[in-house]
């Protein structure tokens, strides 16, 4: 069990492609480190490619405004925003890295992916970007997680968010239930709220990014570990088995189509009123107000329930801005990333989907400009919950403060092993014990690379 650590208050083929790129990537990192970058600009005719996994319509509109202001201030540099699905980011990265066609910047990838890329020597230092804005303005935990072996920063944390329990206050009250704190309480509440056309909860059971992401949370909440502090694979445990059995126990209270659900479908079921609860970020606020205002006054959130006798553990995403070490336009990419982190542009993007991303710049998080948004004012209590959970949460790659970094966390998550186990247990009725044993062997193969 992981109780010895106190909770805070990809696929393998990507690794194999490293063999093709290792020499060039290392040289690019060395070259980038050797010179001292200053946020200056000499006119050039270049186009930088920016991948982003945060690409809902409001966010793309915000990006369009940020691009417009950047290009006006940097004549000759064009920016192409290229949306990438969270479900596709790992295979697209593998193809781009293997084919030598990497973007100049990758925005909002989560911690496990960034750490795996760094472990393979595929990311350029980001100290210049952070210093251009003011590194001392970042929350310390968002700096620590992306500090490399040489003390430099290999990613700039853009924002944080956590997976909370979003629920319908009215339906929970009608069921005579309190806000659940443990899994047992949540199962009971979901069962009582499931009636007629209403399901008690919405969870992801598809072979998707969300399923692979959320299982880290459930495993740690059950007291299990994937990789031990000594680097060994410890996935096959009664605690991990319990996490997958919890998913099976919840399945009858989820919509019929949940076997293919990922992020969008899980949230849509909640927002449209098909499900009384779901795990999600603050995106639930704007989606509900825009798409189903009739229930907007009845939504709220709480820390996601954890297993009784387990660990109160929650995932924090620590979303990043990164620059591939062998990108074509290094200086322009640095300028772009520094521009996105300036006050006006930073707040513009955060306000595109208010509450979905929690600012990690201290001056922004406590400033009036960020707080000055109708939805953030309307849902002050919920925003406070999300900020608190995010501050207590941890990334799967470093689940506890004194736990060594799991350098292959992105490879494990990107492999789809967790989602495969979910489907074996829930859809194919394989025993959780057997499926977890299979998953242990698959993870062991990843760790051998």
78 and 144 both lie in a single domain: yes
Range of the domain at 339: 46-161+317-392
Residue 83 lies in a domain: yes
Residue 357 lies in a domain: yes
Q: What angle do CA 158, 163, 169 make, to 5 degrees?
A: 130
Residue 267 lies in a domain: yes
How high is the mean pLDDT of the chain?
90
Length of the chain: 449
151 and 293 both lie in a single domain: no
192 and 307 both lie in a single domain: yes
- pLDDT, residue 38, reads 54
Residue 279 lies in a domain: yes
306 and 432 both lie in a single domain: yes
Measured CA to CA in angstroms, residue 198 lies from 35, 164, 256, 264 at distances of 60, 20, 11, 18
Measured CA to CA in angstroms, residue 132 lies from 236, 271, 319, 339 at distances of 45, 40, 19, 9
Residue-wise pLDDT for 400-410, tens only, equals 989 999 999 99
Residue 9 lies in a domain: no
Strand partners, 227: 233
Q: Which of 37, 48, 106, 104 is nearest to 76 (CA)?
A: 48
Residue-wise pLDDT for 5-58, tens only, equals 333 223 333 434 333 333 333 333 323 333 334 555 556 689 999 999 999 999
Residue-wise pLDDT for 413-428, tens only, equals 999 999 999 999 999 9
Average pLDDT over residues 241-261: 98
170 and 155 both lie in a single domain: no
Instruction: Indicate the number of domains in the chain.
Output: 2
The model's pTM is: 0.86
173 and 290 both lie in a single domain: yes
Residue 306 lies in a domain: yes
186 and 261 both lie in a single domain: yes
191 and 231 both lie in a single domain: yes
241 and 374 both lie in a single domain: no
Residue 30 lies in a domain: no
306 and 184 both lie in a single domain: yes
435 and 384 both lie in a single domain: no
Query: Which residue, chain included where needed, has tokens 């072996």?
Result: 149
CATH of the domain at 57: 3.40.190.10
Residue 242 lies in a domain: yes
- pLDDT, residue 44, reads 66
Which of 45-54, 90-99, 180-189 is predicted with the least confidence, judged by mean pLDDT?
A: 90-99
Residue 153 near residue 130, CB atoms below 8 Å: yes
Query: Which residue, chain included where needed, has tokens 């009636």?
Result: 195
- pLDDT, residue 237, reads 98
Helix axes 432-448, 238-250, angle to 10 degrees: 120
305 and 428 both lie in a single domain: yes
């Amino acid at each position: 069990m992981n109780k010895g650590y106190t909770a805070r208050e990809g696929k393998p083929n990507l690794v194999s492609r490293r063999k093709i790129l290792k020499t060039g990537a290392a040289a690019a990192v060395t070259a980038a480190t050797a010179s001292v970058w200053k946020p200056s600009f000499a006119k050039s005719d270049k186009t930088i490619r920016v991948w982003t996994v945060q690409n809902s319509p409001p966010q793309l509109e915000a990006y369009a405004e940020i691009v417009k202001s950047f290009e006006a201030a940097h004549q000759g540099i064009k920016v192409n925003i290229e949306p990438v699905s969270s479900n596709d980011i790992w295979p697209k990265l593998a193809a781009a890295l293997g084919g030598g066609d990497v973007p100049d910047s990758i925005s909002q990838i989560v911690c496990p992916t960034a750490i795996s890329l760094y472990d393979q020597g595929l990311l350029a230092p980001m100290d210049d970007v952070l210093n251009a804005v003011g590194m001392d303005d970042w929350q310390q935990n968002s700096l620590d997680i992306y500090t490399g072996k040489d003390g430099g920063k290999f990613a700039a944390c853009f924002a944080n968010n956590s997976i909370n329990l979003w629920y319908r206050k009215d339906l929970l009250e009608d069921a005579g239930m309190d806000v659940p704190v443990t899994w047992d309480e949540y199962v009971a509440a979901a069962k009582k709220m499931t009636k007629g056309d209403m399901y008690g909860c919405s969870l992801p059971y598809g072979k998707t990014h969300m399923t692979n992401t959320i299982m880290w949370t459930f495993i740690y909440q059950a007291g299990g570990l994937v990789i031990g502090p000594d680097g060994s694979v410890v996935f096959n445990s009664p605690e991990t088995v319990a996490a997958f059995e919890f998913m099976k126990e919840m399945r009858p209270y989820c919509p019929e189509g949940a076997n293919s659900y990922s992020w969008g479908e899980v949230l849509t079921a909640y927002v449209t009123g098909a499900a009384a609860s779901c795990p999600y970020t603050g995106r639930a606020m704007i989606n509900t107000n825009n798409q189903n205002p009739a229930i907007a006054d009845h939504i709220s959130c709480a820390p996601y329930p954890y297993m009784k006798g387990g660990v109160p553990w929650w995932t924090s995403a620590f979303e990043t801005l990164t620059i591939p070490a062998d990108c074509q336009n290094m200086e322009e990419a640095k300028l772009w990333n520094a521009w996105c982190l300036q006050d006006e542009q930073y707040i513009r993007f955060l306000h595109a989907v208010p509450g979905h991303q929690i600012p990690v710049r201290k001056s922004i998080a406590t400033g009036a400009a960020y707080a000055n948004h109708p939805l953030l004012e309307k849902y002050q209590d919920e925003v406070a919950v999300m900020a608190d959970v995010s501050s207590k949460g941890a990334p799967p790659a470093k689940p506890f403060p004194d736990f060594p970094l799991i350098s292959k966390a992105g490879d494990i998550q990107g492999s789809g092993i967790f989602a495969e186990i979910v489907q074996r247990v829930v859809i194919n009725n394989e025993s959780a014990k057997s499926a977890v044993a299979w998953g242990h062997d698959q993870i062991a193969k990843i760790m051998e690379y």
